[in-house]
Amino acid sequence: MRINQTSAIITGGASGLGEACARAFREAGAQVVIFDRDTKRGVDVAAEIGAGFAQVDVTDEASVAAGIKLAVTYMGKINACVNCAGIASGEKTVGRDGPHALDSFQRTVNINLIGTFNVLRLAAAEMAGNAPNEDSERGVIINTASIAAFDGQMGQVSYAASKAAIAGMSLPVSRDLARNGIRIMAIAPGLFLTPMLEGLGQEIIDGLAVDVTFPKRLGKPAEFASLAQFIIENGYLNGEVIRIDGALRMR
């Protein structure tokens, strides 16, 4: 799919990796509507880059359905969906205060996994009504996993489980949506310098960068966005997970 013929919704588009996609896609001539629960940042970013904004909680069915309606009105159609909304979490299976709280585990899975699926299923249903392009394609979906899906660290059980499930969705969803002409891919980022990590402070960030094989630095959000754009443009990528991590293997 050509990027200048792309009408994309981007969840988590008010910050970090999603914001970088929104900026890069607009720059390349795509139409964009940002979905985020953070209205302040979402409205500011959207106004700056000439995108639409919908206040959406990805875990809420009615909220996502309303966002999709707004996006179709704003762009005329949706043929790309990039799911970046997500939260980090840290808690051990059994910690000093006892077993992992069940509600915090459920919250992480609810936002990262169920939120992603909620948006992708409603976006796919909308895309299925598009006219196919010259490659019989009606849409592209990109989910954001994490290398924690494969090398989850101590204290990352809820996060790693939610991201492993996102990686696991790629193949079955690609099979489900083949007859609709919709591709799906997941990106598994290593460590990227976004507000999610910036809060850790420079010393911890420098410590994290040491483990990256090459280059010895955190990823730039623009590098994630450029991979997302490549996935949209390359019609033969489907049903797979791509790591983008400077060969980092977390221990």
Ligand X SMILES: NC(=O)c1ccc[n+]([C@@H]2O[C@H](COP(=O)([O-])OP(=O)(O)OC[C@H]3O[C@@H](n4cnc5c(N)ncnc54)[C@H](O)[C@@H]3O)[C@@H](O)[C@H]2O)c1
CA proximity to 189, closest of 225, 157, 165: 225
Q: Is 22 in the site for ligand X (CB under 6 A)?
A: no
Q: Candidates 122-130, 131-139, 192-200, 228-236 — which segment interacts with ligand X by CB under 6 A?
A: 192-200
Q: How many residues does the chain have?
A: 251
Given the residues 159, 188, 189, 218, select the one marked as catalytic: 159
Spell 128-148 as b/e; 16+ CB within 10 A means b: eebeeeeeebbbbbbbbbbbb
One residue of 46, 111, 124, 248 binding ligand X per CB under 6 A: 111
Taking the alpha carbons at both ends of the chain, their separation in whole angstroms is 38
Residue from 245, 100, 220, 111 nearest 166 by CA: 111
Contact residue for ligand X among 1, 8, 10, 17 (CB under 6 A): 17
Q: Please identify, among the stretches 82-90, 150-158, 226-234, 235-243, the one whose residues bind ligand X according to the rule CB under 6 A.
A: 82-90
Cβ at position 131, least distance to ligand X in Å:
29
Among 139, 110, 140, which Cα is nearest to 228's? 140
User: Rounded to the nearest whole angstrom, what is the least distance from the CB of residue 24 to ligand X in the complex?
Assistant: 14
Distance, in Å, from the CA atom of 132 to the CA atom of 24, rounded to the nearest integer, reads 24
Number of residues that bind ligand X (CB under 6 A): 30
* Among residues 6, 7, 15, 238, the one that binds ligand X under rule CB under 6 A: 15
The answer to whether 194 contacts ligand X (rule: CB under 6 A) is yes
CB count in 10 Å sphere of residue 100: 17
Q: Are 220 and 22 in contact (CB under 8 A)?
A: no
Shortest Cβ distance from residue 177 to ligand X (Å)?
21
- Identify which range of 12-20, 65-73, 171-179, 200-208 contacts ligand X by CB under 6 A: 12-20
* Least distance in angstroms from the C-beta of 110 to ligand X: 8
Cross-strand bridge partners of residue 52: 33
Q: Is 156 in the site for ligand X (CB under 6 A)?
A: no
Among 78-86, 125-133, 169-177, 236-244, the segment contacting ligand X (CB under 6 A): 78-86
Asked about 74 being catalytic, the answer comes back as: no
Element (H, E) at 242: strand 241-244
Strands 80-83 and 7-11: parallel
- Asked if residue 184 lies in contact with residue 120, where contact means CB atoms within 8 angstroms, the answer is yes
Site residues (vs ligand X, CB under 6 A): 11-12, 14-18, 36-38, 56-59, 84-87, 111-112, 115, 144, 146, 189, 191-192, 194-197
Catalytic residue positions, numbered: 159
